[in-house]
Amino acid sequence: MPTEMSKVGKRGAVVIPASLRRRFGIKEGSLVIAEGRADGVLIRPAAAFPLEMYAPERQAEFLLSNAVGAKDYAQAKEEVRKMGLDPRKIPHYKPVRS
């Protein structure tokens, strides 16, 4: 793999040569990971994915709707109460009785 030299600028900024940026899809604003290694620093492209945050009511819905059987459902209701919510006010599917 060919190597190219670059210079460290103010505040530690390093310019990644254009040929390497094109090759690895690094553009202005791209995220990179700088990883310390025994022999130097490895800089590689990074990926970031949006994190989905659920409101407490939605979390309660998941707990209640995914319960399997009466015992599990009772535990889910208790967890929802610990969250400060009323299980009766959360729209959800109740488990089928076996």
Q: For the chain, which residues make up each domain, given as ranges?
A: 10-45, 50-98
Q: Is this prediction's pTM over 0.85? A: no
Angle between helices 69-82 and 56-65 (to 10 degrees): 170
What tens digit of pLDDT does each residue of 31-52 get? Answer: 999 999 999 999 999 988 888 8
Q: Are 75 and 47 in contact (CB under 8 A)?
A: no
Q: How far apart are CA 62 and CA 96, in angstroms?
A: 16
* Number of helices and strands in the chain (H, E): 3, 2
98: pLDDT strictly greater than 60: no
57: pLDDT strictly greater than 80: yes
